[in-house]
Amino acid sequence: MIDMVMAALWFVLGAYSFWFLTRAKKPQSLTLDELVILWKVHKHQTGCASSLSKVEPVIDGRTKEFSGFVCECGYQYQSKRLIVQRRALERNMFAAKAFGTTESASTLKTQVNQNGCR
């Protein structure tokens, strides 16, 4: 009888661990640029007439960073990621990258100008 109870407890522990690793989520912080872009997408898709100044950002209590927004029309957006997922890398969306390399285009342009080519 004790073997069946132990097997059931191990099964429950395994099922909970599987759920925790595949379904549990926590808030993902957003940059101000991402917040504005997500609001613009919402406004375009729903035809919302509220202005950006009426949007209230949702701030995570632990980290004091933006994790979503609440629109005046009642729409709510909360950015979440899986617990086991890595944090998204912060990238500057205005810095151009050369295709197939890790160097930025401005660095490549400076190197070409120093060599006297083009």
State the pLDDT at residue 4. Answer: 94
So where are the chain's domains?
A: 25-112
pLDDT band at residue 112 under the 50/70/90 scheme: very low
In this predicted model, what pLDDT tens digit does every residue of 39-93 receive, in sequence order?
899 989 988 888 888 888 888 888 888 888 999 888 999 888 777 777 666 666 6
Return the higher-pLDDT residue of 35 and 111.
35
In this predicted model, what pLDDT tens digit does every residue of 15-30 receive, in sequence order?
999 988 888 888 888 8
State the pLDDT at residue 86. Answer: 72
State the pLDDT at residue 52. Answer: 84
**What's the angle, vertex CA 96, arms to CA 66 and CA 37, rounded to 5?**
30
Q: Do 53 and 37 form a contact (C-beta atoms < 8 A)?
A: no
- How far lies 43's CA from each of 65, 66, 77, in Å? 23, 19, 12
